A and B are shown apart, each in its own frame.
Chain A
């Protein structure tokens, strides 16, 4: 099996986002959003569809090319210092899919434009909508990778990205060097992606690997925002 590289441009209609989750992010956790804000959210959601141009690329490396141990993932003689959390989750893999995806630069321009015209509310909600679409596109991509893995009788892991679980975002340069196609995502000197609503990462593949849902208890990063969100939820439930 050679390296399998693919590029897709799924239609925005192939992606689904849950506007209830956006409401939740806006703070309305108990179905208590007002009609005014729900109308603004709905309008921005429909407007956003015009500016979202999804693109995904991935490369699946053949069995035997990848391994994970002691805080590192090795692929094609390149070592990623992912940290022990990720390498621990991927230790049973023997192949890997690397990916990058974006909802496009037009969305960035559109959503940032609201600040320039003095409408921070629209900018805030548009940003949340964009994040949901980027996550939805990542789910879409994961399904494609899972399908390919299944055809080869392989299981797949959760997806892991530089910048999370102790994997430095600076390693993104190495990750991008292994992708054979591109979606026009540029990396800054500090390895941040532009357009900003982009995701990159790896998914472990192997006969004995299974997907585990993301859990904060696999990770010991004290200041992670996902941990804080969980803590905030706990505080809210207790009060």
Chain B
């Protein structure tokens, strides 16, 4: 592996965004994901190699630590921030088709609910894991999900809710999606949810944290 790719994977894993970033303290003053990705491109390393051998590797390592209870949500978020700084440089390669997202997922907080922190965290982690995320925002009606699916056919759907009252809207939204676009996979998440609730409303999966969702999605597209 190129030394630069190894360094880049460490920057993502540790959340070293750029040279100005004071975190992590032991990497202060060193180049971060931003500078190293630019360098890798200048060194003619293919975008797909940068993505798979450095960025994804870094995210995978921090994801494994999270799964083992050795890292926490802040570690995932700072890694995702570094990953996204790198992804900015890869944008033209995604547009040209030289690099590819793992797939597309439409996300939103369901109708009646204005809480977006959980949904935004999941969005950052999924983007950091190589997914193209279409964020519909908060208080999203069933119709908006249907319209987004018409625009982005074949996408997965992620529904978020924070309240015991608004999570009930997930059932209607899931039903409308399944009736209109049979076969669409609908996933749910949020503080008051459980696997039992997911089963009850006919959704395809419940995940209690962003990493387990990202890991599951990566598994089904392999």
Neighbouring B residues of A119 by C-beta, 8 Å: 81
Separation of A119 and B84 alpha carbons in the complex (Å): 10
Q: Which of A114-152 contact B (CB under 8 A)?
A: 115, 118-121, 123-125, 127
Question: Please, what's the 1-or-0 string for B96-108, where 1 marks a CB less than 8 Å from any CB in chain A?
Answer: 0000000000000
A-B contact count (CB 8 A): 85
Q: Give the shortest distance, in Å, between B31 (CB) and chain A (any CB).
A: 18
Are B25 and A35 in contact, CB atoms less than 8 angstroms apart? yes
Q: A26-B72, A127-B117 are in contact. Are A221 and B77 (CB under 8 A)?
A: no
Are A194 and B114 in contact, CB atoms less than 8 angstroms apart? yes
User: Which among B53-61, B179-187, B191-199 touches the partner chain?
Assistant: B191-199
A170 within 8 A of B: yes
Are B80 and A223 in contact, CB atoms less than 8 angstroms apart? no
Are B115 and A196 in contact, CB atoms less than 8 angstroms apart? yes
Separation of A225 and B208 alpha carbons in the complex (Å): 12
Neighbouring B residues of A217 by C-beta, 8 Å: none
Q: Give the shortest distance, in Å, between B59 (CB) and chain A (any CB).
A: 14
Neighbouring A residues of B196 by C-beta, 8 Å: 222-223
B166 within 8 A of A: yes
Are B114 and A196 in contact, CB atoms less than 8 angstroms apart? yes
B163 within 8 A of A: yes
Q: A26-B74, A223-B167 are in contact. Are A121 and B81 (CB under 8 A)?
A: yes
Are A223 and B74 in contact, CB atoms less than 8 angstroms apart? no
Most-contacted residue by chain B among A40, A124, A194 (CB, 10 A): A124
Question: Please, what's the 1-or-0 string for B64-85, where 1 marks a CB less than 8 Å from any CB in chain A?
Answer: 0000000011100110110011
Q: A35-B25, A121-B74 are in contact. Are A223 and B193 (CB under 8 A)?
A: yes
Q: A169-B165, A192-B114 are in contact. Are A125 and B74 (CB under 8 A)?
A: yes
A88 within 8 A of B: no
Question: Please, what's the 1-or-0 string for B156-172, where 1 marks a CB less than 8 Å from any CB in chain A?
Answer: 00000011111100000
Are A120 and B81 in contact, CB atoms less than 8 angstroms apart? yes
Are A124 and B73 in contact, CB atoms less than 8 angstroms apart? yes
Of A28, A35, A192, A223, the contact of B192 (CB 8 Å cutoff): A223
Neighbouring B residues of A112 by C-beta, 8 Å: 116
Question: Please, what's the 1-or-0 string for B177-219, where 1 marks a CB less than 8 Å from any CB in chain A?
Answer: 0000000000000011110110000000000000000000000
Are A121 and B165 in contact, CB atoms less than 8 angstroms apart? no
Are B192 and A121 in contact, CB atoms less than 8 angstroms apart? no
Q: Give the shortest distance, in Å, between B159 (CB) and chain A (any CB).
A: 15
Most-contacted residue by chain B among A26, A170, A194 (CB, 10 A): A26
Separation of A238 and B115 alpha carbons in the complex (Å): 32
Separation of A188 and B72 alpha carbons in the complex (Å): 34
Neighbouring B residues of A169 by C-beta, 8 Å: 163, 165-166
A163 within 8 A of B: yes
By beta carbon, the residue of chain A nearest B209 is A27
Neighbouring A residues of B73 by C-beta, 8 Å: 26-27, 124
Of A28, A164, A225, the contact of B191 (CB 8 Å cutoff): A225
Question: Please, what's the 1-or-0 string for B7-37, where 1 marks a CB less than 8 Å from any CB in chain A?
Answer: 0000000010000000111000000000000
Q: Give the shortest distance, in Å, between B101 (CB) and chain A (any CB).
A: 19
Are A120 and B121 in contact, CB atoms less than 8 angstroms apart? yes
Neighbouring A residues of B24 by C-beta, 8 Å: 34, 36
Are A27 and B72 in contact, CB atoms less than 8 angstroms apart? yes
B113 within 8 A of A: yes
Separation of A119 and B121 alpha carbons in the complex (Å): 10
Neighbouring A residues of B78 by C-beta, 8 Å: 121
A residues apposed to B, CB below 8 Å: 26-28, 34-37, 40, 112, 115, 118-121, 123-125, 127, 163-164, 168-170, 188, 190, 192, 194, 196, 221-225, 228
Can you report 16 A-B residue pairs in the complex whose CB atoms are below 8 A from each other? A118-B81, A120-B77, A120-B80, A120-B81, A120-B121, A120-B124, A121-B81, A124-B121, A168-B165, A188-B139, A190-B112, A223-B164, A224-B192, A225-B191, A228-B192, A228-B194
B residues apposed to A, CB below 8 Å: 15, 23-25, 72-74, 77-78, 80-81, 84-85, 111-117, 120-121, 124, 139, 162-167, 191-194, 196-197
> Told that A169-B166, A223-B194 touch, could you supply 8 new A-B pairs with CB distance under 8 A?
A40-B74, A120-B77, A123-B117, A163-B163, A169-B165, A190-B111, A192-B113, A223-B196
What 7 pairs between A and B have smallest CB-CB spacing? A27-B72, A190-B112, A225-B191, A121-B77, A225-B192, A120-B124, A169-B165
